[in-house]
Chains A and B, each alone.
Chain A
Amino acid sequence: MTSEPHPRRRRPREQRGEGGRRLHSAGSAIVVSLLALLVGVLLNAPGIRKSAHIQPEGWKRDLALALTGPLEDVSHALLLDRPREGLKAALGRSDDDEIDTAVALPEEPPATTPNQPAAPPPRTKFTRERPLRLWIAGDSLVVVPGESILRAVASNRSVEAVGGIDGRIASGLERPDIFNWFTHIRKVMRKEKPHAVVLMFGGNDDHGFMTGLPEGVEIGSFGSSSWTAEYRRRVAGIMDTVSRSAFLVWIGLPITRDGEQTRRYDTINAIVAAAAARRPGRVAYLDTYFFFAGANGSYAQYISDDSGKLVKMRAEDGVHFERPAGDLIADKVLALLGKRFELASSRTR
């Protein structure tokens, strides 16, 4: 590009591109882009409002909320949100734009303390005719172990997976506005009636911002006593919702590449492990921390297997699992299920 300004010439009558289309000025491109975005934002205002709402805490979220609030009002006043509403309704996804922060939890039943060991419940038998209904759910971390569990039980007709793997990216127990697990778990438990549930939460909960707090409740920073009390309440509520009718295996969070994040995950794991210990026979906590630590106890992306072969366990982001890690977790989960249930011998489908 030369330093010379573009010489001013008269605009010829018209310049056409391929297929006879009319070429426009850069100014026109800018105006059309701006107008299209503005009208597009108004037409999609409810969805954009929700996108703003579910952002991580910080100035970006505050700014987005400050901007999208009035936009949503204008859109609603001009009825410009109606086409989206209609389309969503036609697709059967009317609740997509709803921001549901209700944390509905059962009242915590009297805890069975660990020093009063309850007699282990008898192993329930499941067969091909009456299969064990297994539901796997959680944040994105549950997906790979969930796939491994499903692959491992595929040849066993006495196990029936319900709902595939219900893994929701970026979700957790802190932000029901992103995805309301409290409502969803109740619905699934009622509708699918699983006998065993595998959950993994907390991967996105390592910060101090929660929505859906009870009225008048404020929480401090991550790990503070008020934060811990509220997070413990939510974990306990989920455990009770599930374990009233099913056996729950809760997979703990692993060590991660980021030491600070690992320390935060430790805080979450401690809360979950303690809550599980208060519910013996109903909830089992699977500690995954040391599965994925290297020889010196620190994070390792690759781990040697029994034959000395290096196996990639963790994804590039230093948090998520690779398939062999999923298989390792699946083995442990199935061992826990095997202690609680008697499953008829495997049969190839």
Chain B
Amino acid sequence: MLFPTATFAIFFMIVLPLSWLLMPRGERWRPFIVAASFVFYSAWDWRFVFLLAVSVVWNHVFAHAIHRNATARSKGLLVAALAGNVALLGYFKYYDFFVSSTHNLFALAGVDVPLEVRGIVLPVGISFFTFMGIAYVVDVYRGDFEPVSLSKFAAYLSFFPHLVAGPIVRPGELIPQLETPRDPRYVDTARAFFLIGTGLFMKVVISNHLASSIVDDVFGAPNQHSSLEVLVGVYAYAVQIYADFFGYTSMAIGLALLLGFRFPQNFDSPYAAVSIQDFWRRWHMTLSRWLRDYVYIPLGGNRGGRLLTYRNLMLTMLIGGLWHGAGWTFVAWGAIHGAALASERWWHERPGFVERPSTPLRRAWQRFATFHVVCFAWIFFRSDSFADAWEIIVRLFTAWGEPSPLVTGGVLAAMAVGIGSQYLPTRFPLGLMARFSRLPVPAQAVVLSVALLGTHTLGPEGVAPFIYFQF
């Protein structure tokens, strides 16, 4: 059930009033929202509902067990809880990848390993709810959080706005909101509608247009295209994946807001970043925080000296890469980011380094360089294999001057909107939202319906799945 579909609109228009009606009575609201979320999830494949249920029960049982045994046994229980989560993710997401990789490694030496791939189907959203489950048991283990009832935890883990592609909401951010009824008198509707509207536009118009107009063609057969087309295709993919994922999470945050719940921000103008470290403070922010708190810091963070810090950065980004997909190109994507983060750190920590004052020209150069490192990494992220990525890179330099029919005004305009929106001053959207909020109800409805008209008319026919659903 994709957000930008009529089916979801009907689903949401049933859930929204019922949710507010039941809101004052938590013992009724929670089973309702859990049931609604399971119905939402079952729209992909009803069998995976059991998987979600297993994840809920597993993490709930272990969180309580860890809390009750807050001494010697709790570490063992934590390890068991994490092992369960990792096993679930490992089986569904990585089993075939590791079996085929192991098989092929031994095949190089002429050894036939009797392991069979199983063609396992990846359940949508498994990476997201598994990470949230891990965050819950670790926070309980650390004493940051007391375990809650099964219905509250089930509502936290399965809440449909974040269920299939995030944002990855921490227990401390959402569970307290589930403990007290949301106040029906004060809903930030202007922000909610703004987020839903911009998210819809970015996904349906910008992302879909770039994918169908240039990105799929260029990455499908790079040697059929000129260097200019390949260059613009790589930039266009950077905008497409941003518009796609930003669009999804904006809609998720907006929908949650209409239901009375606040989710953390997931993007903050990532292509305006002045360094890779800055990029990761702005791109998929909830994943960055998760990786920092549950991987980088437990690995030792920056507490073990320079070399260990570089190692930890690298390992964290390699895990981040692998989280995105079971493939070596994703690992390479993580490695590029890890290497860039470690290099930046080395540069700033080298003896005699003096931070030069920031000037507009200097910032522009830093943004340009950062954007290009990010785009270079996206080549591996989008390519099916290293050979394909290499083909793109080679083509970037070897076919200048050839005709470039894919570089159209529409493609450039979509890219300009996707990147330009990240350089808008904050006061601009804030002003729009404030003005919208002061409109009478019928006028708000008219504005939104005109926005729907624009989005529905400008977008290509059909709705492509969100890129991040496959992760």
A30 → B minimal CB distance (Å): 5
Comparing B17-25, B54-62, B267-275, B288-296, the segment that makes contact with chain A is: B17-25
Interface flag for A244 (CB, 8 Å): no
A197 cross-chain contacts in B, Cβ below 8 A: none
Given known pairs A32-B189, A33-B13, the reply for A21 and B433 (CB within 8 Å) is yes
Comparing A117-125, A226-234, A300-308, A333-341, the segment that makes contact with chain B is: A300-308
A154 → B minimal CB distance (Å): 4
Chain B, range 9-39, C-beta contacts under 8 Å to A: 9, 12-13, 16-17, 20, 23-27, 29-30
B331 → A minimal CB distance (Å): 16
B221→A20 contact, CB < 8 A: no
The answer for the CA separation of A15 and B13 in the assembled complex, in Å, is 25
B25→A302 contact, CB < 8 A: no
The answer for the CA separation of A323 and B107 in the assembled complex, in Å, is 21
B190→A323 contact, CB < 8 A: no
Q: Scoring A residues 3 to 43 as 1 if CB is less than 8 Å from chain B, else 0, what string do you get?
A: 10110000100010111111111111111111111111011
> Majority SS of interface residues in chain B?
helix
B258→A21 contact, CB < 8 A: no
Query: Looking across the interface, which residue of chain A has its beta carbon closest to that of B226?
Result: A349
B277 → A minimal CB distance (Å): 27
The answer for the CA separation of A150 and B217 in the assembled complex, in Å, is 10
Interface flag for B244 (CB, 8 Å): no
The answer for the CA separation of A28 and B122 in the assembled complex, in Å, is 40
Interface flag for B353 (CB, 8 Å): no
Given known pairs A28-B441, A35-B441, A143-B220, the reply for A316 and B258 (CB within 8 Å) is no
Interface flag for B69 (CB, 8 Å): no
Interface flag for B321 (CB, 8 Å): no
The answer for the CA separation of A208 and B189 in the assembled complex, in Å, is 46
Query: Looking across the interface, which residue of chain A has its beta carbon closest to that of B399?
Result: A349
Query: Looking across the interface, which residue of chain A has its beta carbon closest to that of B110?
Result: A308
Comparing B230-238, B311-319, B369-377, B451-459, the segment that makes contact with chain A is: B451-459
Query: Looking across the interface, which residue of chain A has its beta carbon closest to that of B30?
Result: A1
Chain A, range 154-176, C-beta contacts under 8 Å to B: 154-155, 161, 164-165, 169-170
Interface flag for B355 (CB, 8 Å): no
B112 cross-chain contacts in A, Cβ below 8 A: 308
A36→B449 contact, CB < 8 A: yes
Q: Interface size (A, Cβ < 8 Å)?
A: 75
Interface flag for A47 (CB, 8 Å): yes
The answer for the CA separation of A91 and B456 in the assembled complex, in Å, is 13
A44→B456 contact, CB < 8 A: yes
Comparing A82-90, A245-253, A282-290, the segment that makes contact with chain B is: A82-90
Interface flag for B448 (CB, 8 Å): yes
Q: Scoring B residues 170 to 211 as 1 if CB is less than 8 Å from chain A, else 0, what string do you get?
A: 000000001111011111111111000000000000000000
B457→A17 contact, CB < 8 A: no
B222 cross-chain contacts in A, Cβ below 8 A: 151
Interface flag for A322 (CB, 8 Å): yes
Interface flag for A114 (CB, 8 Å): no
A150→B437 contact, CB < 8 A: no
Interface flag for A2 (CB, 8 Å): yes
A331 cross-chain contacts in B, Cβ below 8 A: none
A23→B6 contact, CB < 8 A: no
B224→A151 contact, CB < 8 A: yes
B220→A154 contact, CB < 8 A: no
B13→A34 contact, CB < 8 A: yes
Chain B, range 293-325, C-beta contacts under 8 Å to A: none
B121 cross-chain contacts in A, Cβ below 8 A: 316-318
A29→B258 contact, CB < 8 A: yes
Chain A, range 45-67, C-beta contacts under 8 Å to B: 47-48, 51, 64
The answer for the CA separation of A300 and B117 in the assembled complex, in Å, is 9
A148 cross-chain contacts in B, Cβ below 8 A: 221
B462→A169 contact, CB < 8 A: yes
Given known pairs A19-B430, A84-B453, the reply for A32 and B441 (CB within 8 Å) is yes
Interface flag for B442 (CB, 8 Å): yes
B454 cross-chain contacts in A, Cβ below 8 A: 87
A24 cross-chain contacts in B, Cβ below 8 A: 186-187, 189-190, 437
B448→A36 contact, CB < 8 A: yes
The answer for the CA separation of A239 and B121 in the assembled complex, in Å, is 36
B171 → A minimal CB distance (Å): 15
Q: Scoring B residues 234 to 264 as 1 if CB is less than 8 Å from chain A, else 0, what string do you get?
A: 0000000000000000000000001010000
Given known pairs A6-B183, A24-B437, the reply for A40 and B453 (CB within 8 Å) is yes
The answer for the CA separation of A301 and B99 in the assembled complex, in Å, is 13
Please report A residues at the B interface, Cβ cutoff 8 Å: 1-3, 5-6, 11, 15, 17-40, 42-44, 47-48, 51, 64, 83-84, 87-88, 91, 96, 143-144, 146-148, 150-151, 154-155, 161, 164-165, 169-170, 257, 299-302, 307-310, 312, 314, 316-318, 322-323, 349
Which 4 pairs from chain A and chain B are nearest by CB?
A1-B26, A19-B430, A35-B445, A40-B452
Please report B residues at the A interface, Cβ cutoff 8 Å: 6, 9, 12-13, 16-17, 20, 23-27, 29-30, 96, 99-100, 103-104, 107, 110, 112, 117, 119, 121-122, 152, 178-181, 183-193, 216-217, 220-224, 258, 260, 384-385, 388, 391, 399, 402, 427, 430-431, 433-434, 436-438, 441-442, 444-446, 448-450, 452-454, 456-458, 461-462, 470
A-B contact pairs, 27 of them (CB 8 A): A5-B181, A21-B190, A24-B190, A24-B437, A26-B23, A29-B187, A29-B258, A32-B441, A32-B445, A35-B445, A48-B6, A51-B6, A83-B453, A87-B453, A87-B454, A87-B458, A146-B220, A147-B220, A151-B221, A151-B223, A170-B462, A257-B119, A309-B104, A309-B107, A310-B107, A322-B384, A349-B402
